Amino acid sequence: MKTLICVAFLLSFWNTSYADKEAQSTILAIDDARNATTLVTKANNIVNGAHSNCPQIPASDIPQFCEEPYKAICANTESHRSSILGHLDDIRKKSEQQAMEFIAKKYSLTAGDELMQKLKSTGLLAFGDQNLTQQYRDDFFEKTRELEASYSEKADKEFQESHFQIIKVNLKRAIEASSLPTEKKQKFLSYIDREQFTSSDNIFNHKQDMKYAELFGRALQICDSDGLKPLAVADDTDQTRAQGNQTLLICSGRFAFHTKDDLPIEHLANEFQVAAHEMSHIMSYHWEPQMYRGLRKCVQNRNASQIVSEYLQALKDNQSYTEEGAKNIEENKTAFVDDHLEEYTPDFWAKGAIVQYFKNEGKSLSPTEKLNFLQNAYGYFCGSPESGDHPSGKLRIEMMGFDSNVRKQMGCTSPTKSPSCGL
């Protein structure tokens, strides 16, 4: 039964035609990266999406979602997360093993633990002929990455050819449906129109090309040398904004954990929030504070106390709490919470894009299937702590779950526990 529901949806999904097909990922050089710390912090907070094969969610979970969205979204996420990370580890191990066998065969060496250790050593430890050792090692790393890339290839292509466009179209619909003035809408729409996408594998395959130098550095930093970290980032810098060539970079690790049994809808759901959020950084609070007065007021009223108390708790957990620091935060509470708007505003657009998706391509989804979609899309927030600029996963999920448009889509009729925050 559950398979039938998924397959039925899958068909309607593939038959839909999308208005926006023009943007393919021609990757342009990016000259001016925002500072590395911000990017890493940003990336660290968008770890691994949960995934599942259309699990049957009892209808009773819908009222639970309406009452306590965090609980409903995060029901099984810990096991999803560890299974994804475990799956990526398996890919690494399998690929290294096969690459070693390949090298052993190529150079008529004996494959085994000793050779493996030598190949993995950093270059300080040469064995036999140093040049030859370097050659073994280069071949080994190249082969390993080639094998690892084969796992992400299908999902990467699927994202490039279809999902990126679906997310883009719905982000544009969310902008159009917003209360922004017309000229601001036009500006934001053109940013999203010109947004490009690349995966870390694509970057690594073009590493000799100087025009990818900046993105190559970014991919190494965010995705690791094998690209297998399940993260994503966008280069929302002054320069990329001015030139209109912002690129969404998704590490191949996010694609590699999809198996052949995964459905496109699951893959789309897994990437939807992350990709839409990252793409929306180009129209975030940092760039357009005056556009978000309503959202700012709502976040300040609704979440300020919780943000501060969660942050102080996080400091205690990290043993970096001081009385003076706490006093400083309390005294500058408004500014401290304002910093979080840099993340709340892209979350606002990502949530809007999901609502548009539910109204359009996903209109035949039942509330249960929509909840399943949201679990896949927001699962990676479960358990993530307040970080000083990123709100906790709980607050981020509640901002989405208590949103009036989301609740309408989910068929929630009970009164909301928290206000819905608009622009």
Minimum distance, C-beta of residue 45 to Zn ion, in the bound complex (Å): 7
Q: Which is nearer to Zn ion, 45 or 368 (CB)?
A: 45
- Interhelix angle 164-177/264-280, rounded to 10 degrees, is 50
Minimum distance, C-beta of residue 411 to Zn ion, in the bound complex (Å): 30
Q: Which of residues 379-398 bind Zn ion (CB under 5 A)?
A: none
Q: Which is nearer to Zn ion, 43 or 265 (CB)?
A: 43
Q: Which is nearer to Zn ion, 34 or 168 (CB)?
A: 34
Q: Which of residues 43-82 bind Zn ion (CB under 5 A)?
A: none
Interface pattern 126-165 for Zn ion (x via CB under 5 A): ----------------------------------------
Minimum distance, C-beta of residue 316 to Zn ion, in the bound complex (Å): 25
Q: Per CB under 5 A, which region of 115-123, 130-138, 294-302, 340-348 contacts Zn ion?
A: 340-348
Q: Per CB under 5 A, which region of 17-25, 143-151, 240-248, 339-347 contacts Zn ion?
A: 339-347
Minimum distance, C-beta of residue 404 to Zn ion, in the bound complex (Å): 23
Q: What is the 3-state secondary structure (H, E, C) of the chain?
A: CHHHHHHHHHHHHHHCCCCCCCCCCCCCCCCCCCCHHHHHHHHHCCCCCCCCCCCCCCCCHHHHHHHCHHHHHCCCHHHHHHHHHHHHHHHHHHHHHHHHHHHHHHCCCCCCHHHHHHHHCCCCCCCCCHHHHHHHHHHHHHHHHHHHHHHHHHHHHHHHHHHHHHHHHHHHHHHHHCCCCHHHHHHHHHHHHHCEEEEHHHHHHCCCCHHHHHHHHHHHHHHCCCCCCCCEEECCCHHHHHHCCCEEEECHHHHHCCCCCCCHHHHHHHHHHHHHHHHHHHHCCCCCHHHHHHHHHHHHHHHHHHHHHHHHHHHHHCCCCCHHHHHHHHHCHHHHHHHHHHHHHHHHHHHHHHHHHHHCCCCCCCHHHHHHHHHHHHHHHCCCCCCCCCCCHHHHHHHHHCCHHHHHHHCCCCCCCCCCCCC
Q: Which is nearer to Zn ion, 34 or 42 (CB)?
A: 42
Minimum distance, C-beta of residue 44 to Zn ion, in the bound complex (Å): 11
Minimum distance, C-beta of residue 317 to Zn ion, in the bound complex (Å): 22
Minimum distance, C-beta of residue 88 to Zn ion, in the bound complex (Å): 22
For residue 162, which of 281, 57, 21 has the smallest C-alpha distance?
A: 21
Q: Which is nearer to Zn ion, 202 or 280 (CB)?
A: 280
Q: Per CB under 5 A, which region of 141-149, 343-351, 353-361, 398-406 contacts Zn ion?
A: 343-351
Q: Which is nearer to Zn ion, 61 or 347 (CB)?
A: 347
Q: Which is nearer to Zn ion, 42 or 396 (CB)?
A: 42
Locate tokens 């009773």: which residue? 60
For residue 173, which of 308, 355, 40 has the smallest C-alpha distance?
A: 355
Q: Which is nearer to Zn ion, 212 or 381 (CB)?
A: 381
Strands 232-234 and 196-199: unpaired
Q: Per CB under 5 A, which region of 120-128, 342-350, 366-374, 378-386 contacts Zn ion?
A: 342-350
How big is the site for Zn ion, counted in residues (CB under 5 A)? 2
Q: CA geometry: angle at 157 spanning 381 and 263, to 5°?
A: 60
Minimum distance, C-beta of residue 397 to Zn ion, in the bound complex (Å): 15
Interface pattern 9-48 for Zn ion (x via CB under 5 A): ---------------------------------x------
Interface pattern 285-324 for Zn ion (x via CB under 5 A): ----------------------------------------
Q: Per CB under 5 A, which region of 60-68, 157-165, 301-309, 341-349 contacts Zn ion?
A: 341-349
Minimum distance, C-beta of residue 97 to Zn ion, in the bound complex (Å): 36
Interface pattern 217-256 for Zn ion (x via CB under 5 A): ----------------------------------------
Q: Which is nearer to Zn ion, 42 or 118 (CB)?
A: 42
For residue 270, which of 218, 310, 302, 231 has the smallest C-alpha distance?
A: 231
Residue 72 to residue 382: CA distance in whole angstroms: 11
Q: Which is nearer to Zn ion, 48 or 372 (CB)?
A: 48
> What tokens appear for 213 in the block?
């130098």
Minimum distance, C-beta of residue 229 to Zn ion, in the bound complex (Å): 16
Q: Which is nearer to Zn ion, 218 or 407 (CB)?
A: 218
Minimum distance, C-beta of residue 277 to Zn ion, in the bound complex (Å): 6
Burial class (CB in 10 A: 0-12, 13-18, 19+), 169: buried
> What tokens appear for 185 in the block?
């809408």
Q: Which residues bind Zn ion (CB under 5 A)?
A: 42, 343
